[in-house]
Structure 1
Amino acid sequence: MPLVTTNILLPDPAHRLWPLVRWDGRLCDWYPGAVALTVHGHDKGAQRRLLLTDGSRLTQRLDHVSQIDDAYSYTILDSPYPVADLLAQIRVHPTGDGNAVLTWTANFQTTTLSESKTERFVRDLYEVGIERLRRLLIH
């Protein structure tokens, strides 16, 4: 089962980053290809649905929200992506110097592509999303 982890130091405190990335945050502002978002619920089992620019839909289920850290994990239930059984976590760590580290991790099964191509697809998706977050925070 492939595992992709992306860690990035972002130039803002965690309290400014977290509202952008939390479960019911501003996902359409940074998630690659997202044009509309609906969230149904805030606790375990809640779902969020994204409409992507190509008209496809992505449905995710909230699996865990940390009561201590700025973190949550989710499962993709339905997507146009070449993955199955994707379980991901987003976590924001304050660094103590006014910055924050975003960690975005996923493990998954491959479907239509080779393992290396599927890993590259997920890594590219995460890197584009993180770069969009960086631009939001700079402005």
Structure 2
Amino acid sequence: MASTTASLAVPASPDRTWQLIGGFDSLPDWLPYIPTSTLGEGGRVRTLVNEDGGVIVERLESFDNDARSYSYSILRAPFPVTGYRSTLTVHAVPGEDTARVEWSGRFTPDGIGDDEAVDLFHGIYRDGLAALHRTLAGETARPS
């Protein structure tokens, strides 16, 4: 089993950051390469469509609003891994009204090496967090 974690400080409070990303159906609100998300099974399964038309189906495995964290698994996707489970968490930055977002995942490479699988998901997490940062920075830059 392989794993990777990416984290990034973002220019918003933990509560505002969680408000944006904490909904299991909220990826299109901050992740440009996922323009479509549809919930099923009472909100426990999301079907994502990426900008190339690829479909990814994920199941919400755990949700903790107080800890600002949720975990999900992939049911179907065009990724060369099995047993994928990921967690997205918003952490407070002590002494500041900003947040640090951590996105981590564990998975078993299927047909590729551990390093290649880690590079794939680390890139997805890193690029996703950069998109989140741009979204939140755009919000804070707007005049009241």
Distance (Å, rounded) in 2 between the aligned partners of 1:47 and 1:116: 29
Gaps of at least 5 residues in structure 1 are: none
Equivalent residue pairs, number = 136
Distance across 1 between alignment mates of 2:69 and 2:132: 16
Q: Shift of residue 88 of structure 1?
A: 0.5
**Structure 1 runs (4+) greater than 6 angstroms displaced:** none
Q: Which runs of 5+ in 2 are unaligned?
A: 139-144
1:129 to 2:122 alignment: no
User: How far has the Cα of 1:21 moved from its partner?
Assistant: 1.6
1:27 corresponds to which residue? 27
Counterpart of 1:99 in structure 2 is 98
Q: For 1:70-109, what aligned pairs fall within 5 Å after superposition?
A: 70-96=68-94, 97-109=96-108
SS of residue matched to 2:130: helix
CA distance in 2, matches of 1:111, 1:58: 17
* Aligned AA (1:90): L
Q: Is the 8 A contact 1:19 1:26 kept in 2?
A: no
Does structure 1 residue 110 correspond to structure 2 residue 109? yes
TM-score normalised per structure 1: 0.90
SS at match of 1:54: coil
Distance (whole Å) between structure 2 residues aligned to residue 26 and residue 33 of structure 1? 13
Structure 1, residues 25-59: CA drift from partner, whole Å, max 9, x if none? 530133362121112234xxx10110112211000
1:53 maps to a residue whose letter is: E
Pairwise CA RMSD: 1.5
Mapped partners of 2:25, 2:45: distance in 1:
13
Which whole-Å CA distance do the structure 2 matches of 1:30 and 1:123 have between them? 18
- The answer to whether structure 1 residue 64 and structure 2 residue 70 are counterparts is no
Of structures 1 and 2, the larger Rg is shown by: 2
1:48 maps to what in 2? Answer: 46
Structure whose residues are more often helix by fraction: 2
If the length of structure 2 is used for normalisation, what is the TM-score?
A: 0.87
Letter in 2 for 1:101: R
- Name the structure 2 match of 1:16: 16
Identity %: 26
